[in-house]
Amino acid sequence: MGESAVNPQIEESWKEVLASEFAAPYFAKLKAFLVEEKKQYRIYPPGSLIFNAFNSTPFPKVRVVLLGQDPYHGPGQAHGLCFSVPRGVPQPPSLVNIFKELHDDLEIPIPSHGNLEKWAGQGVLLLNATLTVRAHQAGSHQKRGWETFTDASLLALSKYRTGLVFLLWGAYAQAKGQLIDTSKHLVLKAPHPSPLSVHRGFFGCKHFSKTNDYLRHLGYPEIDWTI
């Protein structure tokens, strides 16, 4: 993790938008917590990738926001983009189900890997509410300050941008809907794509085509959901 956790290296447009967060007392506490955690445990993702979602999708380029909860906590999985894994890492179950819905919705072939960087490069902000996790301990960095930081990110997008699509899958993400001005943005909600809930309405939600319909209606380019 090293210096990147202590002195966040984040893309300039986001650094400007979130400057007051980095200066806030809670963020200093969060940094101190991460420094101590790093002394005792392995933390995911690597320090240089903690802000990967922001660095991959600058604030003015965001067109879609996909909100996750926690980074993956297994070795080599987390790389700072929600639901995504690096090439060569097996697709986790939720991502498998996302690709199934994508195939059913838009007839996009099921990919052989799980790296969603191509989405991020087109303006899909792949944001986890909590940006770090202790190895093999899901949820271990929740309620330490990250949620305040990522809520501020969502509020800034809602306030300063218009015509964005927010994809909120599962109860945790859906609760964040209260941060979004629905008179300016499209909020799409569905059950989480995990095997435990996918059959309650994630399959068949058609969020990928609905996103593109909305963007097209506003005169914006559609997302190419192939990876």
**Positions marked active-site:** 70
Residue 20 Cα to chain centre, angstroms: 21
Token pair in block for residue 26: 């809670």
Distance CA 124, CA 61 (A): 9
- Return all residues near 95 (Cβ < 8 A) that are at least 6 apart: 83, 84, 85, 114, 193
DSSP string, 115-154: --HHHHHTTEEEEESS--EETTBTTTTTTSSHHHHHHHHH
Q: Is the dihedral of CA 181, 182, 186, 187 positive or negative?
A: positive
Q: Please, where are the H alpha helices in 79-224? A: 93-106, 117-121, 146-160, 171-175, 207-217
Distance CA 10, CA 50 (A): 9
Helix, strand or coil, per DSSP, at residue 177: helix
Nearest Cα to Cα of residue 108 among 116, 88, 78: 116
